[in-house]
Amino acid sequence: MRINLTARGYEVTPVPDGGAALAAAARHPPDLIVLDLGLPDLDGVEVVEGLRGWSTVPVIVLSARDQEQSKVRALDAGADDYVTKPFGMDELLARVRAALRRGAPAPQEPLVATDAFAVDLAAKRVTRDGTDVRLTPTEWHLLEVLVRNAGKLVPHKQLLQEVWGPKYESETNYLRVYLAQLRAKLERDPARPRHLMTEPGIGYRFVP
């Protein structure tokens, strides 16, 4: 595959596993990722989810798994296309061209730093004064949504849908509890937050 893509003028950076893929994408954000689901360390779907925490780069998934559920999982995780093995090189090249035509915005910086804490969206890691901060999965997911929308107002409904699911759209008390926990762990003065801001009655905003 690398030989065929290189011969057509594409610059290809092969990596051996999912962890290396996430690290390489963070160091040198690519224009397109071609991802096999059968990796030695992570499931390919986990890699897609990791990428979607901070990047909109087009992802074409390759897999021998032709069951509908496998395709649905990959696409729901954020993959842009799904190619089942075996496939013809001409078909893959056509899908590569289509994905690049659809394009993506300039890659986001995976590391977001404030004067109080830093968030590494690629590594799913938060540090404060150089020390790792332990977050629960729900706390991380909530923080991730806010950081991905840095500077923007994120409505209550959107946060509840993305973090807890559509059945929890009215549970704004969840947000109050978890935002208080995040502020206690991250803000220098949780009572007077500077980065995790409340927009009363509307939603929340992350201010870098």
Write down the pLDDT at residue 107.
Answer: 47
Q: How far apart are CA 8 and CA 154, in angstroms?
A: 42
CA 5 to chain centre: 26
CA dist., res. 131 & res. 172, Å (int): 31
Q: How far apart are CA 175 and CA 11, in angstroms?
A: 44
What's the pTM? 0.56
For residue 93, the SS3 value is: helix
Helices 44-52, 18-27: inter-axial angle, 10-degree rounding: 20
Residue that the structure tokens 């995790």 belong to: 196
Residue written as token pair 């078909």? 91
Copy the structure tokens of residue 72: 């649905």
In this structure, which topology does domain 111-206 adopt according to CATH?
Arc Repressor Mutant, subunit A (1.10.10)
| pLDDT digit string (tens) for the chain, length 208 residues | 899 999 898 999 999 999 999 989 988 889 999 999 989 998 899 999 989 878 889 999 998 877 788 888 888 889 999 998 888 999 999 999 988 887 645 445 688 999 999 999 888 899 999 899 999 999 999 999 999 888 888 899 889 988 888 788 889 999 999 999 999 999 999 999 999 999 888 899 999 8
Asked if the bond preceding 166 is cis, omega within 30° of 0, the reply is no
Packed helices 156-163 and 172-186: angle between N→C axes, nearest 10 degrees: 80
CATH number of 2-102: 3.40.50.2300
Domain ranges in the chain are: 2-102, 111-206
Pairwise CA distance, residues 85 & 38, whole Å: 12
Q: Which residue has the tokens 């949780």?
A: 190
What pLDDT does residue 190 have? 96
